[in-house]
Structure 1
Amino acid sequence: MTDIFQEVSEDMRRERAQKLWAKYGNYVVGAATAVVLGVAAFVAYQRYEQQQADAQGARFQSAIALSQAGKTADAASALSALAKDGNAGYQTLARFRLAAETATDKVADGIKAYDAIAADPSVEPLLQGLAKIRAGYLMVDTASYADIAAKIEPLAAAGQPWRHSAREVLGLAAWKAKDLTNATKWYQAAITDKDVPGGLRQRADMMLQLIAADQPFKAS
């Protein structure tokens, strides 16, 4: 008797499963197909993105090679094109390199190029800060300490990612302006920061020695 009831129960389950499949089978197949197609599309997109990144990387390296070969006009043209039609990362990278290339011959234009990067809301804040630092280094020979401080001083605050370079820029700008008080302040801030890179600490210490040697001359 047990076997008969078991067979009846199995037949009922089989019949119920067949009815469910007849009712919902197309949906199951459709969902499974959608998953497969979705995975395939994702893999294809990843491959496409990698190919695009490789191609743009090659374009950037080609522009660098042109610059190193002394073909500055060709390098600038290649970088300008990449800055227009590259992906976001290579656009910004190309703009930084183009600003550096420009500054080699025309410092003022290089500063403007860095300022444009710093003011672009599509650029990450960290890179905006770097652009300001690069512009600051270029400004020390021509701009006033006040103008440089207005641009750079917010980046010199504790905890800011570019604070070490910002303090060096401000110290150098103050020293060139014969503002030894501010020069001392910024270089002291540089060497007392426990996270300051070793090379920058050495430069700051050297500048403090130069400032100390200048003090008697200024007082006389």
Structure 2
Amino acid sequence: MSELFDEVDEEVRREQLKKLWERYSIFIIAGAILIIAAVGGWRGYQYLEARKAAEAGAAFEAAADLSEQNKHEEAEAAFTKLAASAPYGYRVLSRLRAAAEVAFRDPQAAARMYDEIAADRSVGAAEQDLAKIRAAGLLLDTTSYSNMLQRLESATTPGATYRHTARELLALSAWRANDAAAARQWLDTIANDGETPPSLRSRAEALQALLPPVAKS
């Protein structure tokens, strides 16, 4: 008797499943097609992005080779093209390299390019700080200490990626402006940072020796 009931239950389940399939099969099939299409589209997108990145990487290396061959105008053109069309990471790097190539013929124009990168909020903080450093390095001999301070002070804070170079540039700028107090302040900051690179620490000590002694009270 129990077997008969089991067979009846099984038949009822089949009828229910059949009715559900007849009612919802179009939606089930459509959903399956959408899932397959989505997975295929994502795979296709990943493939295209990887291909673009590979092409941009090769083009970036070719532009860098032009620079090493002192073909700076050609390198500038290549990096400028990449800055306009490459995937995001290569766009930022290419903007920085294009400015570096411009610096060979027009340091002031290159500094303005770096300033644009430093002011671009879509660029990462480390790249913004690097652009600030590069611009300040180009302007060190021609701009005032107050301008250098305005440019670089935010990049000197503990933990900032390029704080060591920023501090050195400010110490040099203050020294050139005959502002011994400011120069000493930055040199002390360099000396007190345990992570200061040894080569920079040596340069700071050499500059410290050029400063007049502190007046005794």
TM-score w.r.t. length of structure 1? 0.89
Residue of structure 2 equivalent to 1:31: 31
TM-aligned CA distance change 1:73 to 1:19, over 3 Å: same
Question: Matched residue of 2:143: which SS?
Answer: coil
1:97 is matched with 97
Task: Deviation per CA, 1:84-108: give whole Å up to 9, x if none.
Answer: 2222222221111111111123221
Q: Identify the residue that residue 168 of structure 1 maps to in structure 2.
A: 168
**Aligned-residue offset at 1:154:** 2.2
Cα offset for 1:196? Answer: 2.8
The 5 Å alignment of 1:130-141 reads 130-141=130-141
Could you tell me which amino acid in structure 2 is paired with residue 92 of structure 1? V
- Provide, for residues 26-55 of structure 1, a one-character-per-residue CA deviation record: whole Å limited to 9, x for no partner: 211211121111111101100000100111
List alignment gaps of at least 5 residues for structure 2: none
Q: Which residue of 2 aligns with 1:40?
A: 40
Partner of 2:212: 215
Residue equivalent to 1:55: 55
- Structure that is richer in helix per residue: 1
Matched, 1:177 2:177: yes
Where in structure 1 are there 5+ consecutive unaligned residues?
Answer: none
C-alpha distance in 1 between matches for 2:62 and 2:29:
49
For residue 80 of structure 1, what is the aligned residue in structure 2? Answer: 80
Asked if the contact 2:72–2:104 (Cα under 8 Å) also holds between the matched residues in 1, the reply is no
> Are the aligned partners of 1:140 and 1:176 in contact in 2 as well (CA < 8 Å)?
no
Question: Counterparts of 1:57 and 1:21 in 2: how far apart (Å)?
Answer: 51
The residue type paired with residue 70 of structure 2 is: G
Q: Is the 8 A contact 2:190 2:201 kept in 1?
A: yes
CA RMSD of aligned residues (A): 1.8
Partner of 2:8: 8
